[in-house]
């Protein structure tokens, strides 16, 4: 069966520090991969999605970047965090072809 | 550019009654619609979906209705139970790649 792993669950970082969140999917190949963010009191904002290794689509110009170095690995990064980067970050995957997204357990990021 | 909108941030209903959650979208190219349920500090979980070629899909207590001409969908929960209390997200997809979510509606079912 397929599983998605996302870590860490909680992260507290100072402003200006770098960020690296990692997500891996097991039990499938060539999935579509996604990063979403839920800011306090807001909905799920699509940040990046990837349909293959090295292929990244960015939805919102911002302080973040994403990379897909391997088929089932998706990384969210920042060189210098801002206060506004605080939020609940969710990785998700989608088998192709299929309609549903499956989410990881999320990372609560607090930038202080 | 918010292509999927949930205009009601919260909804409170009595146990046993019907809960109706609404969602509007702007992109006529969306061909698949989904509802997700989310508890605090957890990832959303899939609840029910509907293809654009249908106008209704039912799964137990949950029914999703799609009105393509109005670009509107709704989720009905009958009867509502306290365990249904969560945030519900509407999502729309233009297959095969992206998926857009609304802002969510917090449902509270009172015993």
Encode chain B in three state secondary structure: CCCEECCCCEEEEECCCCEEEEEEECCCCCCEEEEEEECCCCCCEEEEEEECCCCEEEECCEEEEEECCCCEEEEEECCCCHHHCEEEEEEEEECCCEEEECCCEEEEEEC
DSSP state of A102: E
User: Which tens digits make up the pLDDT trace of A29-63?
Assistant: 899 999 999 877 678 888 999 999 999 988 876 78
Check A96 against B96: CB less than 8 A apart.
Answer: yes
For residue B16, give how far its alpha carbon lies from the nearest alpha carbon of chain A (Å): 28
User: Which tens digits make up the pLDDT trace of B51-88?
Assistant: 999 999 999 999 999 999 999 999 999 999 999 999 99
Q: How far apart are CA A90 and CA A52, in angstroms?
A: 19
How wide is the angle at C-alpha A6 spanned by C-alphas A91 and B41, nearest 5°?
A: 80
The pLDDT, as a whole number, for residue A47 is 92
The pLDDT, as a whole number, for residue A110 is 95
Check B46 against A51: CB less than 8 A apart.
Answer: no
Check A108 against B97: CB less than 8 A apart.
Answer: no
The pLDDT, as a whole number, for residue B1 is 61
């Amino acid at each position: 069966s397929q599983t998605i792993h996302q870590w860490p669950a909680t992260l507290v970082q100072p402003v200006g520090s770098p960020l690296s969140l990692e997500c891996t999917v097991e039990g499938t190949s060539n999935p579509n991969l996604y990063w979403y963010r839920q800011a306090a009191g807001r909905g799920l904002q699509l940040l990046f999605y990837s349909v293959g290794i090295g292929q990244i689509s960015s939805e919102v110009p911002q302080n973040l970047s994403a990379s897909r170095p391997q088929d089932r690995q998706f990384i969210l990064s920042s060189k210098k965090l801002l206060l506004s980067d605080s939020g609940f970050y969710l990785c998700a995957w989608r088998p192709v072809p299929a309609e549903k997204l499956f989410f990881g357990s999320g990372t609560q990021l607090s930038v202080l | 550019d918010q292509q999927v909108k949930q205009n009601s941030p919260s909804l409170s209903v009595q146990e046993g009654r019907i809960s109706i959650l609404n969602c509007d979208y702007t992109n006529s190219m969306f061909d698949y619609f989904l509802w997700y349920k989310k508890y605090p500090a957890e990832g959303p979980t899939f609840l029910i979906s509907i293809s654009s070629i249908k106008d209704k899909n039912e799964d137990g207590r949950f029914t999703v209705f799609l009105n393509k001409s109005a670009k509107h969908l709704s989720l009905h929960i009958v009867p509502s139970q306290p365990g249904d209390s969560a945030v519900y997200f509407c999502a729309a997809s233009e297959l095969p790649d992206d998926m857009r979510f609304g802002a969510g509606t917090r449902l509270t079912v009172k015993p």
